[in-house]
Amino acid sequence: MREFLLVLAELLLLILKTVYYICKFTYRSIVPKRKKSVAGEIVLITGAGHGIGKELAICYASLGATVVCWDINEETNNETMNDIKQIGKNSVYAYRCNVADREDVFRVAEKVRKEVGDVTILVNNAGIVFIKSFFNQNPDEIARVIETNVTAHYWTLKAFLPSMVKKNHGHIVALSSIAGLICGPYGTVYCPTKFAVKAIMEAMSEELRVLSNGKSSVQFTTIYPSLVYTGIVKKVKIRFPRLMGGISPQEAASLIIDAQRKNMSHKSLPSILLLLSRLLQYLPDEAHGAILDFFDTGVYPDD
């Protein structure tokens, strides 16, 4: 009987906590969160040589952060650094790094620690895609996508998360994709990698919560962009452009930084897509497919 009463008490406490957290979430959804400052933070952005990564680097620099640009393409990475210096922000560094190469990540990370300091905001932005039918994907392409889009997150987290945990201060931002929530044709390799990013972030956040007894101040933000006009996707089909149209890399970067500064755990671009993806999970598969057919939005294969 005593054990039963204890479980009942725990259950009642759980219900009260759940109601409280629902009210808290509702309140925060209505009342805008105050944005935290990033001035003085050391922000490392992977894939900073072009697209969203480049715009993130410029935006963070303009907000007073020290920016560390990583990219496998040294030329475009240096261009990003120079563009930032041209707007009068000199606290910026550029390093060539192949994030899919574990030894390269650890080597360059150590160099960053010595030359710049401990990274306090890590933005795992780098990613690649081959928009092809599974039957036309060759093994090397499959391996490259997995190594860049998934495995690289483990190496950068290993390199930079321990110092954040030690200081109990830091923020991890990872770019997943709407394709990591709603799968489509020609994404048999890309979509699973973006699902994996979501899982890594949620598992890591939960692990720190448990290990710290809920006292960890390290934040995690996962971003789910839809179509961003970076040039990576060449052939797009959109039935309702006004509703499902894409955004520019500049706009995407602004929304991502806004989410990070508000400590949002999840953010889709546009916001409605995260809610839509959750609703689709509760529908029968046939209804799910019918809705996707109606919107008829996706990509055409490159091959």
Active site residues: 190
Nearest partner of 66 among 83, 42, 36, judged by Cα: 42
* Phi and psi at residue 238, to the nearest 5°: -135, 115
For residue 5, the Cα-to-chain-centroid distance in whole angstroms is 43
Q: Judge if the upstream peptide bond of residue 301 is cis by omega within 30 degrees of 0.
A: no
Tokens encoding 189: 């390799």
CA atoms of 68 and 65, how far apart (whole Å): 10
Distance (Å, whole) CA 5 – CA 101: 54
| Residue type, position 237, single letter | K
Hey, CA dihedral for 215, 219, 91, 67, is it positive or negative?
A: positive
Q: How far apart are CA 199 and CA 201, in angstroms?
A: 5
Structure tokens at 247: 């955004």
Name the DSSP letter for residue 136: G
